[in-house]
Amino acid sequence: MIDAWVYIEHDSGEIEDVSLEIVGRLNEIKASLPLRITGFSFGRDPGEIPRKAISQGVEHFIFLRNDLFSFYDTQSYVNGIEGIVRERRPDIILLGATYQGRDLAGRLAARLKTGLAANAITLNIDEKGLLYTGVPGYGGRFIAEIVNMKARPQISTVRQGIFRKLPQDNSRSGEVENIEVKFGDFSPRLRVVERVRKDVKDITKSERVVIIGNGAGNNLKPIEDFARLIGADIGVTRPVADRGLAPRDIQVGSTGVSLNSKLVIIFGSSGSNHFVSGIERCKNVISIDVDRNSNIFNYSDYCVVADMFTILPYLNRRFGGQ
Amino acid sequence: MKNIIVCVKVVPKTEDVSFDPVTKTLDRSKAENQINEADKNAIEYALVLKEKYGGNVILLSMGPMFFEPFLKIGIAMGADDAILLSDRAFAGADSYPTALTLASAIKKIGDFDLILCGEESSDAGLGQVPSQVAEFLDLPQALFVSSVEIEGNKIKARRSVKGGYEIVELPLPSVISIELGINQPRFPDFKRKRWADKEFKIKVWNMKDLGLNENIVGLRGSYTFVNRFIETEPPKRLRRYIEGSPEEQAEKLYEVIKEIIE
């Protein structure tokens, strides 16, 4: 039996989609391999987390309980999981490539003296339990398939929006273990003083996305109006996020998120390699840019060489706007 | 403030790396190299902290000798010292031995208050070295940080979390990874560049200097290997140009969009 663990990341009981996407992929692999899927979380109170995870394909759940887990400190979490990993010796540990997952994975792998891969966009396991992870390099132009034959567990983070989670099925059942973590004389050296969080839209699943590129300058309103009129969510390119105009959560590309949309419309992007890898999985791509030679047009179905601010008023009026 | 150590990697420019379909390997030989972008943001941030709180900025890198001129660019930007960890045995390292080697050098430097890294490199881009350096040094860490304030022996760092940020408090010393693109790295100072090129000597430390052995560094100390490279095939696109006056373009675009969304 191959023992695979998935970090079920949550924020106050709300499970991250990517954790369940990994569980979804493992369930596909399980169809042809003897695989046991264990979820694990940290917190003060398990609440509905184990039940929700089980309804989406986790077979066994470990909830690590301690008051210190109410905020994220890398060392507390690594210390909290280390003992049980050493005792149970899972073959594989997978984490979402979120801020927290990426922060946790490296330290955990160093602590356990094992290798890791990161931002995987393909996941395969062979009959010996070897994990093959496809890691995009050089802005997503190549995928390096990484394998760790030397040590267990094999650890990797997995990119968001790549795999599909299973539909929720409340008739699924699984074993839940609540473990009280004892820390001895450890106390965290990091303290969270302030937390500012807005609910951000997960655009990896949006059917329509309008992307604002740097060519838009600071005049975002006509594009935002257009997005609203066609019922699309907003994404941005990296330079726009770098300028602080939008959160990283909606930044598209190899250093941000990948889209799976039916329609994506891109305003004022030059089409850098790390950006276009984020729109590869979209069905229809339309781009508007002033530069006829812009690389973005090589990655577009429909190419409009024009000043977006001349086109947008017509377009907005046509879609019923002012 | 004591020393600020900045971990720096030199990487090939992404667009210069090509794929050889026959050997199924990456060809970096024609690629121009540069300081990894996020590491440049970290150097810039270290210089800003130095201006505010004092201390010296020390650049630390692991790699072949051709990294030297790139470290001198950092010196010309204003860094005080640079150490290159260079040894044949270091080649082929994945993140574990890389972090172990860097951490050994940091212990050897000894006198430091802060370790800054770029959030990740543009080549493999695993972003795991900062976390692992922190583990090997048993120091607290805050990653994806966009600003740092120092009050006494405490750091207040702003780190990105989903949908926003947290202000976290850590003791000195700690390991901080700096978010890509948070600042505009300054240009190297012309006079300082000339001095660095002519007179400045980069310290070069090898495996023995760090008290390490060949079983725990480089390829032999690595846990992962690349099974194969796969070149990603971009999807075929129609590349149909919509021409005409802006009004005509908008009208045609309207039709195209309507057809897709209906």
Q: Which of A293, A299, A292 is nearest to A275 (CA)?
A: A299
Q: Which of B107, B75, B59, B104 is nearest to B198 (CA)?
A: B75
* Number of Cβ atoms within 10 Å of the Cβ of A181: 18
Q: Which stretches within chain A are classed as H helix?
A: 17-30, 49-55, 74-88, 99-111, 221-229, 238-242, 273-276, 308-318
> A–B: how many Cβ contacts below 8 A?
267
- Report residue B240: phi and psi, to 5°: -90, 125
Q: For residue B118, what are the β-bridge partners?
A: B178
Half-sphere exposure of A267 (CA within 13 A, CB side): 25
What the block records as the tokens of A316 is: 């907005």
| pLDDT of B196 higher than 90 | yes
Q: Which of A293, A258, A147, A273 is nearest to B17 (CA)?
A: A273
In the structure, what pLDDT confidence band is assigned to residue A247 with cuts at 50, 70 and 90?
confident
In this prediction, residues B219-231 reach a mean pLDDT of: 92
Residues of chain A with CATH 3.40.50.1220: 203-318
A168 min Cα distance to partner chain B (Å): 24
Q: Give the nearest partner residue to B232 out of A141, A262, A307, using CB atoms.
A: A141
Q: Which stretches within chain B are classed as H helix?
A: 37-53, 68-77, 95-109, 129-137, 190-198, 246-261
The 10s digit of each residue's pLDDT in A5-18 is: 999 999 989 999 99
Side chain identity at residue A79, one-letter code: N
* Contact in structure between B97 and B207 (CB atoms under 8 Å): no
Helix (H) or strand (E) holding A131: strand A131-137
Q: A203-318 adopts what CATH topology?
A: Rossmann fold (3.40.50)
In the structure, what pLDDT confidence band is assigned to residue A97 with cuts at 50, 70 and 90?
very high
Note the pLDDT of residue B26: 79
The 10s digit of each residue's pLDDT in A191-227 is: 999 999 888 888 999 999 999 999 999 989 999 999 9
- CB contact under 8 Å between B231 and A194, yes or no, is no
Burial B76-105 (b: 16+ CB within 10 A, else e): bbbbebbbbbbbebbeebbbbbbbbbbbbb
In this prediction, residues B4-19 reach a mean pLDDT of: 89
The 10s digit of each residue's pLDDT in B87-110 is: 999 999 999 999 999 999 999 999
* Number of Cβ atoms within 10 Å of the Cβ of B120: 27
| pLDDT of B199 higher than 90 | yes
Q: What is the mean pLDDT of chain A?
A: 94
Contacts of residue A293, Cβ cutoff 8 Å, sequence gap at least 6: none
* Number of Cβ atoms within 10 Å of the Cβ of A182: 9
Three-class SS of residue B129?
helix
* Contact in structure between B234 and A276 (CB atoms under 8 Å): yes
Note the pLDDT of residue A98: 94
- Cβ of residue A183 closer than 8 Å to a chain B Cβ: no
Question: In this structure, what is the dihedral angle of CA atoms A190, A18, A64, A79, given to the nearest 10 degrees?
Answer: -40
CA distance A78 to A86: 12
CA distance B200 to A15: 53
Q: For residue A31, what are the β-bridge partners?
A: none
What the block records as the tokens of A169 is: 């099925």
Q: What structural domains does chain B harbor? A: 3-205 (3.40.50.620)
Contacting B residues, span 162-221, partner chain A, CB-CB under 8 Å: 162-171, 174, 180-182
| pLDDT of A239 higher than 70 | yes
Note the pLDDT of residue B28: 81
What the block records as the tokens of A164 is: 């599909």
Note the pLDDT of residue A322: 67
In the structure, what pLDDT confidence band is assigned to residue B18 with cuts at 50, 70 and 90?
confident
Model ipTM value? 0.92
- State how beta strands B174-178 and B141-151 pair: parallel
Chain A interface test: which of B126, B139, B245 (most A C-beta within 10 Å): B126
CA distance A34 to A31: 8
Q: Give B-chain residues touching A144 at CB under 8 angstroms.
A: 124, 226, 228-230
CA distance B41 to B185: 6
Q: Give the nearest partner residue to B161 out of A99, A145, A284, using CB atoms.
A: A99
The 10s digit of each residue's pLDDT in A250-306 is: 999 877 888 999 999 999 999 987 799 899 999 999 999 999 999 999 999 999 999
Chain B interface test: which of A11, A17, A77, A102 (most B C-beta within 10 Å): A102
Distance linking the first and last C-alpha atoms of chain B: 62
| pLDDT of A321 higher than 90 | no
Note the pLDDT of residue A155: 98
Residues of chain A with CATH 3.40.50.620: 2-180
* Assigned CATH class of A2-180: alpha beta
Half-sphere exposure of A71 (CA within 13 A, CB side): 16
Q: Which of B93, B159, B43 is nearest to A74 (CA)?
A: B159
* Contact in structure between A82 and A112 (CB atoms under 8 Å): yes
Half-sphere exposure of A226 (CA within 13 A, CB side): 29
Note the pLDDT of residue A64: 98
User: CA gyration radius for chain B?
Assistant: 22
Which residue is associated with the tokens 């890898």? A277
CA distance A96 to A105: 9
Q: Give the nearest partner residue to B232 out of A142, A231, A303, using CB atoms.
A: A142
Residue with the larger pLDDT of the pair A239 and A54:
A54
How would you class B19 by CB atoms within 10 Å of its CB: exposed for 0-12, middle for 13-18, buried for 19 or more?
Answer: middle
Chain A interface test: which of B153, B167, B223 (most A C-beta within 10 Å): B223
| ∠ Cα A278 B248 B260 (to 5°) | 40
CA distance B128 to B102: 13
Note the pLDDT of residue B184: 92
CA distance B187 to B190: 9
| pLDDT of A131 higher than 90 | yes
Which residue is associated with the tokens 């008051």? A67
Q: For residue B81, what are the β-bridge partners?
A: B58
CA distance B1 to B54: 6
| pLDDT of B49 higher than 80 | yes
Q: For residue B72, what are the β-bridge partners?
A: none
How would you class B227 by CB atoms within 10 Å of its CB: exposed for 0-12, middle for 13-18, buried for 19 or more?
Answer: middle
CA distance A144 to A117: 10
Q: For residue A122, what are the β-bridge partners?
A: A134
* Number of Cβ atoms within 10 Å of the Cβ of A120: 26
How would you class A90 by CB atoms within 10 Å of its CB: exposed for 0-12, middle for 13-18, buried for 19 or more?
Answer: buried
In this prediction, residues A61-77 reach a mean pLDDT of: 96
Read off the DSSP letter of residue B201.
-
